[in-house]
C-alpha cells in the first residue's frame, strides 16, 4: 500500500518537537471524546482510541489529565467535527478532518490553504471514495510471523501485515481496532509506534520535485491550522 508509517511519524514528531501545537490539538480532541461519552476510556471507545494515539505522540500526562478533568467538570465548549476534501497539484487528493468551535473560520482557513498552494476544495465525496478507513498499528521487536501467529490465535482478522524498517505494520478494519489492541496487550505488547484510525489511499501517486515541494507546503499549512485534527492524502512522499 506504499505508506511509510514510520517515516511519516518521524517527520511529524520532528516538526512538532519545539511546539505545543500538537499537545493543544490532542487536549481538544480528548476533551471532545470524553464529553461525547463517559470520561473513562474503558467505557468510552472513542476516547480510548484518542488516548492510544496520544501515547504514540508522547503527549504529556498532564495534558491528558487536564482535558479529562475539564470534561468531568462539566465545561460546555461545543465543537463540530468536519471533513473537507480537495485536490492538490497534479490531481493529488487530500482529506482534512477538523474539530472547530467556529465553522466559518475553519472553512475559510482550509480553503485558503488549498487555493494559495496550488490546490482547490472539492465537494463532499469528491475524494473520500478513493480512500479506505483503516486501523493502523506499528509494533517494534516482533517479526511478521510472530504477529501473524499472535493475531490468528486471538481470532483477529486483519487486512494486511508487513515489515517496515524496524516495525511490523498492521492494517485492519476500523471495527477491529480494539480487538488488535487487546490481542497485542494480552501478549505483553503495550507500546506502539503507530496506533490510530486513518484514511488510507487506495492508490498512491508520485509527484515531480516542483509539484511535491508545493504539495508539502500545502500539507504543512493545513496541519498547522489550529482547528485541523488530521490530514490524509495519496502522495508518496518517501
CATH of 80-129+202-233, one of 3.30.70.980, 3.40.50.300, 3.90.650.10, 3.40.50.410: 3.30.70.980
Determine the Cα–Cα distance for residues 106 and 82; give it in Å rounded to an integer.
9
What pLDDT does residue 172 have? 96
Assign domain 131-201 to a CATH class: alpha beta
Domain-by-domain residue ranges, the chain?
A: 5-72, 80-129+202-233, 131-201
CATH architecture of 5-72: Orthogonal Bundle (1.10)
Q: Where is 86: in which H helix or E strand? A: strand 80-87
**Per-residue model confidence as pLDDT tens for the chain (238 residues):** 445 555 555 555 555 554 578 889 999 999 999 998 888 888 898 999 999 999 988 899 999 999 999 988 877 788 999 999 999 998 899 999 999 999 999 999 999 999 999 999 999 999 999 999 999 999 999 999 999 999 999 999 999 999 988 889 999 999 999 999 999 999 999 899 999 999 999 999 999 999 999 999 999 999 999 999 999 999 998 6
How many of the other CB atoms lie within 10 Å of CB of 155? 8
What pLDDT does residue 160 have? 94
5-72 and 131-201 share one fold: no
Is 159 in a helix, a strand, or coil? coil
What pLDDT does residue 105 have? 97
**Closest by Cα among 119, 83, 90, 95 to 217:** 119
What pLDDT does residue 9 have? 54
Show Cβ contacts of residue 16 under 8 Å, excluding neighbours closer than 6 positions: 22, 57
Alpha carbon distances (Å) from 89 to 4, 51, 187, 219, 232: 21, 34, 44, 11, 15
DSSP string for 118-164: T-EEE-TTTTGGGEEEEEEEEEES--HHHHHHHHHHTT---SEEEEE
Determine the Cα–Cα distance for residues 97 and 25; give it in Å rounded to an integer.
12
Amino acid at each position: 500500500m506504499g505508506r511509510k508509517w514510520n517515516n511519516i511519524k518521524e517527520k511529524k514528531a520532528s516538526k512538532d518537537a519545539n511546539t505545543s501545537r500538537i499537545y493543544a490539538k490532542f487536549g481538544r480532541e480528548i476533551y471532545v471524546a470524553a464529553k461525547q461519552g463517559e470520561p473513562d476510556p474503558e467505557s468510552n471507545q472513542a476516547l480510548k482510541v484518542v488516548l492510544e494515539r496520544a501515547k504514540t505522540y508522547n503527549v504529556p500526562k498532564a495534558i491528558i489529565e487536564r482535558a479529562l478533568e475539564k470534561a468531568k467538570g462539566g465545561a460546555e465548549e461545543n465543537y463540530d467535527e468536519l471533513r473537507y476534501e480537495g485536490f492538490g497539484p497534479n490531481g493529488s487528493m487530500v482529506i482534512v478532518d477538523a474539530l472547530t468551535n467556529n465553522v466559518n473560520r475553519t472553512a475559510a482557513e482550509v480553503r485558503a490553504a488549498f487555493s494559495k498552494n496550488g490546490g482547490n476544495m472539492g465537494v463532499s465525496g469528491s475524494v473520500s471514495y478513493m480512500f479506505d478507513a483503516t486501523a493502523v498499528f506499528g509494533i517494534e521487536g516482533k517479526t511478521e510471523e510472530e504477529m501473524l501467529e499472535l493475531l490468528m490465535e486471538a481470532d483477529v482478522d486483519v487486512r494486511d501485515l508487513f515489515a517496515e524498517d524496524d516495525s511490523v505494520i498492521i492494517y485492519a478494519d476500523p471495527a477491529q481496532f480494539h480487538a488488535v489492541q487487546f490481542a497485542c496487550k494480552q501478549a505483553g505488547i503495550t507500546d506502539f509506534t503507530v496506533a490510530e484510525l486513518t484514511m488510507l489511499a487506495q492508490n498512491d501517486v508520485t509527484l515531480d520535485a516542483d509539484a511535491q515541494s508545493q504539495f508539502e507546503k500545502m500539507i504543512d499549512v493545513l496541519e498547522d491550522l489550529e482547528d485541523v485534527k488530521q490530514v490524509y492524502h495519496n502522495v508518496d512522499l518517501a
